[in-house]
Amino acid sequence: PVPAADDGRRTYELDRAHVFHSWSAQAALDPMVISKAQGDHVWDADGNRYLDFTSQLVNTNIGHQHPAVVQAIRDQAEELCTIAPSHANRARSEAARLIAERTPEGLDRVFFTNGGAEAVENAVRMARLHTGRHKVLSRYRSYHGSTSTAINLTGDPRRWPNDTGTAGVVHFFGPFRYRSPFYSDSEEQECERALAHLEQTIAFEGPATIAAIVLETVPGTAGIMPPPPGYLQGVREICDRHGIVYIADEVMSGFGRTGHWFAVDHYGVRPDLITFAKGVNSGYVPLGGVAISDEIARTFDERPYPGGLTYSGHPLACAAAVGAITAMRDDGIVANAAEIGATVLGPGLRALAERHPVIGDVRGLGVFWALELVSDRAAKTPLAPYGGTSAAMRELTADCAKAGLLLATTYHRVHVVPACTITADLAREGLAILDAALERTDAHAA
C-alpha cells in the first residue's frame, strides 16, 4: 500500500530521486507536495490551503473529489476493474451514450483513448484513411499533445525539439485580433483575412493532398482566443468545398469549460471529428476519445480500423465519465460555468485591466479566461519571451501562492481557469488575490 501521510518530506525526497517530470529540466525542479484536495481547494503537505484557479492542467472541470465521481469509481472497482476493449461493458456503453448525446447531431460513435494526444493521433489517422490523403493543417498558436503527430501539429515552441517527423503537417495562422498576423482593424476583417489566408494555404499545398484541418475551437494553452463570429463556419465551408475533414480539438474546451458542453456549440458548427479528454471525467481516471461522424464511421463498417489501445474504454475511466457527466447535467454545472464567466470572471478581469497597466488584453468565456501581461501597452511587449518565462511572471505566481491562490501562467499570460463548479464568492476571492499580486507586477509596466 501507499504509505500513510507524512509531513511531505519523504514524498518530496522520493520524487526528486525517482520521478522524471514532464517538460522540465530535472535538476532545478521544486514540486509542491499536495496532500489533499476538495472542491475548489488543494492543500500542501504543510497544511496550507490554496484556491485552485488552474483546474490543474485545466481538467478538473467538476472540482476535486466530487463525491458522485468518487463513488462511481468505487462502485466500478468493486464490480469490474478492467476488461479488454473487444468486449462490451456497461460503463463503456453508458459513457459513449452520454458523450454522443452531447456532441452535435450526427457524431454518434466514440473511440476511447487514454488522453488527449492519443485522441488527436487517432482522429488524424481516421481522417487520412477516410480521405486517402496525407497532409494535415493546423494553426500556429495551438497545442495538440506530446505524442509524435500531436506534437508536430502543435503550434508552440514545444514542437521545435520534437520536429522530426513533420512530413505532411503544415501550419497556418488563425485569427487573433490582439496580435493579428493580418493587421486587421476589426473582428470582421480579422475573420475575413484569416479565412482568405487559409484558402491560400490550401491552394498552395494542393487541396487534393489535404486530409484534415485540426483546430482547437478556442485555443487553450496557446492563449484562450475565442474565434471571431463566422470563422469556424468559414472553415467548415472550406472543408466541405475541398473534401477535407474538419477535426475540432475540444480536449481543453470541451465538457463545460466554455459554458457549453462543447465550445463548437457557441458557433453552431458541426465538425467531422471531435477530440476530447480532460473534462469528460475531470481526469479522475485517464480518459480521452474521438467522437466520429456517421460518414467517417461508415468508412470502417467493412474495412477494419487499424488502431487500438489495451485500455480503450477502460471501465474505471468510463464509470468516472458517467459519474461526472451525470452530476454535471443534474447540478447545472455547465450553466454555472457560463454564469460565472458572464457575471464574475469577465467583468472582474476587465475591472482588473482598468486598474493594472500591466494587463494588455482580457479575453475568454465561461471559466476559460486569459490576461496578456505586457511591459508596454501600446507596443504590446510581452512580459516574458515566447516560449519562456521571466522574473516578473515567476514573482506573480509565487505571490499568489503565498496568498493562497494557485495561478496558471503560460509565458507572459495568466490563464484564469477554475472549476466549472466554482461559486461567485470563491471566484471573487481569487480575483481579489490576483488584484493584490498584480500591484507588484505593475512595476514592470511602462
Q: Examine residue 155 and tell whether it contacts ligand PLP (CB under 6 A).
A: no
Residue 283 contacts residue 169 (beta carbons within 8 Å): no
To the nearest whole angstrom, how small is the minimum distance from the Cβ of residue 168 to ligand PLP? 19
- For residues 252 and 279, what is the distance between their CA atoms, to the nearest angstrom? 7
The smaller minimum CB distance to ligand PLP, of residues 64 and 144, is found at 144
Q: Examine residue 254 and tell whether it contacts ligand PLP (CB under 6 A).
A: no
The smaller minimum CB distance to ligand PLP, of residues 217 and 336, is found at 217
* Interaxial angle between packed helices 294-302 and 116-131, expressed in degrees from 0 to 180 and rounded to the nearest 10: 70
Task: For the beta carbon of residue 239, count every other beta carbon within 10 angstroms.
Answer: 22
Q: Examine residue 408 and tell whether it contacts ligand PLP (CB under 6 A).
A: no
The smaller minimum CB distance to ligand PLP, of residues 249 and 399, is found at 249
What are the DSSP E strand ranges found in 140-258? 169-172, 210-216, 245-249
Q: Examine residue 216 and tell whether it contacts ligand PLP (CB under 6 A).
A: yes
- State how far the alpha carbon of 241 is from the alpha carbons of 80, 185, 202, in Å: 47, 28, 11
Among 143-151, 316-324, 356-364, 374-382, the segment contacting ligand PLP (CB under 6 A): 143-151
To the nearest whole angstrom, how small is the minimum distance from the Cβ of residue 55 to ligand PLP? 11
To the nearest whole angstrom, how small is the minimum distance from the Cβ of residue 219 to ligand PLP? 8
Q: Examine residue 145 and tell whether it contacts ligand PLP (CB under 6 A).
A: yes
Q: Examine residue 277 and tell whether it contacts ligand PLP (CB under 6 A).
A: yes
Residue 156 contacts residue 138 (beta carbons within 8 Å): no
Residue 387 contacts residue 157 (beta carbons within 8 Å): yes
Q: How many residues in the shown chain lie near ligand PLP by CB under 6 A? A: 16
Out of 143, 246, 255, 411, point to the residue binding ligand PLP (CB under 6 A): 143
- For residues 61 and 282, what is the distance between their CA atoms, to the nearest angstrom? 5
Q: Examine residue 223 and tell whether it contacts ligand PLP (CB under 6 A).
A: no
Out of 234, 288, 313, 315, point to the residue binding ligand PLP (CB under 6 A): 288
- For residues 247 and 106, what is the distance between their CA atoms, to the nearest angstrom? 14
Dihedral over Cα of 278, 281, 287, 291: its sign: negative
Mark residues 295-334: x for contact with ligand PLP by CB under 6 A, - for none.
----------------------------------------
- Nearest-CB residue to ligand PLP? 116
Task: For the beta carbon of residue 147, count every other beta carbon within 10 angstroms.
Answer: 15
To the nearest whole angstrom, how small is the minimum distance from the Cβ of residue 117 to ligand PLP? 3
- State how far the alpha carbon of 22 is from the alpha carbons of 29, 207, 446, in Å: 11, 37, 35
- For residues 217 and 250, what is the distance between their CA atoms, to the nearest angstrom? 6
The smaller minimum CB distance to ligand PLP, of residues 195 and 280, is found at 280
The smaller minimum CB distance to ligand PLP, of residues 352 and 406, is found at 406
**Residues 6 or more apart from 60 whose CB is under 8 A from it?**
52, 282, 283, 419
Q: What is the grid cell recorded at 363?
A: 479575453
To the nearest whole angstrom, how small is the minimum distance from the Cβ of residue 160 to ligand PLP? 17
To the nearest whole angstrom, how small is the minimum distance from the Cβ of residue 280 to ligand PLP? 10
The smaller minimum CB distance to ligand PLP, of residues 141 and 444, is found at 141
Q: Examine residue 221 and tell whether it contacts ligand PLP (CB under 6 A).
A: yes
DSSP 10-26: HHHHHHHHHPPPTTS-S
Q: Examine residue 177 and tell whether it contacts ligand PLP (CB under 6 A).
A: no
Q: Examine residue 171 and tell whether it contacts ligand PLP (CB under 6 A).
A: no
Pairing of the two strands 273-276 and 245-249: parallel
To the nearest whole angstrom, how small is the minimum distance from the Cβ of residue 279 to ligand PLP? 11
User: Residue 148 in 3-state DSSP?
Assistant: helix
Q: Examine residue 244 and tell whether it contacts ligand PLP (CB under 6 A).
A: no
Residue 66 contacts residue 282 (beta carbons within 8 Å): yes
Which residues of this protein are in contact with ligand PLP, per CB under 6 A? 57, 115-117, 120, 143-145, 216, 220-221, 249, 251-252, 277, 288
